[in-house]
Amino acid sequence: RTVVLGEGAAVLAGYAGDRVEALLETVATIAEASPFRHLVTPGGFVMSVAMTNCGRQGWVSDRRGYRYERVDPLTGRDWPAMPELFASLARQAAAELGFDGFAPDACLINRYVAGARLSLHQDRDEASPEAPIVSVSLGAPATFLWGGVARGERVRRIRLGEGDVVVWGGASRMVFHGVAPLHAGERINLTFRRAAA
Ligand code: MD3
Ligand code: FE
């Protein structure tokens, strides 16, 4: 089932369905090499969401700013490689919306526990904004917040459950979005991006 959210954006409900278990096992393996950690924002706040990455590029935040790094600053080693299971799921989902040839070089893995949230923001640290973003929800359901391209536009609330995949490209690539505080349980989100040019 596909729910169109806007131009270039849609929820592919349950699209990861039969791959959920393998995806979660793979996340656990990645976290053994590059553990989940709570990053600090440039403003000095500790993020409630715990993060790690896989792929050639990893998204990081610290007092100096937001950026992509080839090396995990926590371990001093490259981020774990992007598993083929991850890359193929992202490529197939993007193609469903007509974004053929999506080759993500970064997968940010977010872990939410009760109370964790992501305030409204744009993803603008990527050098290839013409590429879409693909997100995969695993574990506990969450309320996704989806606004407009300008802050202050009306925000829609969308419930995302396990196995749901969302593709955001084209005119929807720069919309403000976030995640409401998780009620209970644990949620993992995979966010696939093209970070380099
Ligand atoms: C819509 N993560 O890590 S993924 C993020 O559920 C992030 O963890 C959320 O936003 C999460 O930056 C949402 C879905 C998502 C990702 C990027 C988008 C939605 C987007 C970019 C533009 C519009
Ligand atoms: Fe985001």
Q: Which pLDDT belongs to residue 131?
A: 97
Helix (H) or strand (E) holding 53: strand 50-54
Q: Is 19 in the pocket of ligand 1 (CB under 6 A)?
A: no
Q: Is 187 in the pocket of ligand 1 (CB under 6 A)?
A: no
Binding residues for Fe cation are 121, 123, 177
Residue nearest (by alpha carbon) to ligand 1 atom 22: 173
Q: How far apart are CA 114 and CA 99, in angstroms?
A: 34
Q: Is 118 in the pocket of ligand 1 (CB under 6 A)?
A: yes
62: domain CATH number is 2.60.120.590
Q: Which pLDDT belongs to residue 177?
A: 96
Q: Which pLDDT belongs to residue 69?
A: 98
pTM check: above 0.90: yes
Domain that holds residue 143: 2-193
Asked whether 166 and 134 are in contact (CB, 8 A), the reply is yes
Q: Which pLDDT belongs to residue 63?
A: 98
Instruction: Report yes or no for ipTM above 0.85.
Output: yes
Residue 135 Cα, ligand 2 centroid: separation in angstroms? 9
Q: Which pLDDT belongs to residue 159?
A: 97
Asked whether 118 and 179 are in contact (CB, 8 A), the reply is yes
Q: Which pLDDT belongs to residue 64?
A: 98
Q: Is 173 in the pocket of ligand 1 (CB under 6 A)?
A: yes
Interacting residues of 70 by C-beta distance below 8 A, sequence separation 6+: 56, 57, 58, 78, 79
| Helices within 80-148 (DSSP H only) | 84-96
Give, for all 197 residues of the chain, the pLDDT tens digit. Answer: 899 999 999 999 999 999 999 999 999 999 999 999 999 999 999 999 999 999 999 999 999 999 999 999 999 999 999 999 999 999 999 999 999 999 999 999 999 999 999 999 999 999 999 999 999 999 999 999 999 999 999 999 999 999 999 999 999 999 999 999 999 999 999 999 999 99
Q: Which pLDDT belongs to residue 173?
A: 95
Q: Which pLDDT belongs to residue 14?
A: 98
Residue 160 Cα, ligand 2 centroid: separation in angstroms? 15
How many domains is the chain partitioned into structurally?
1
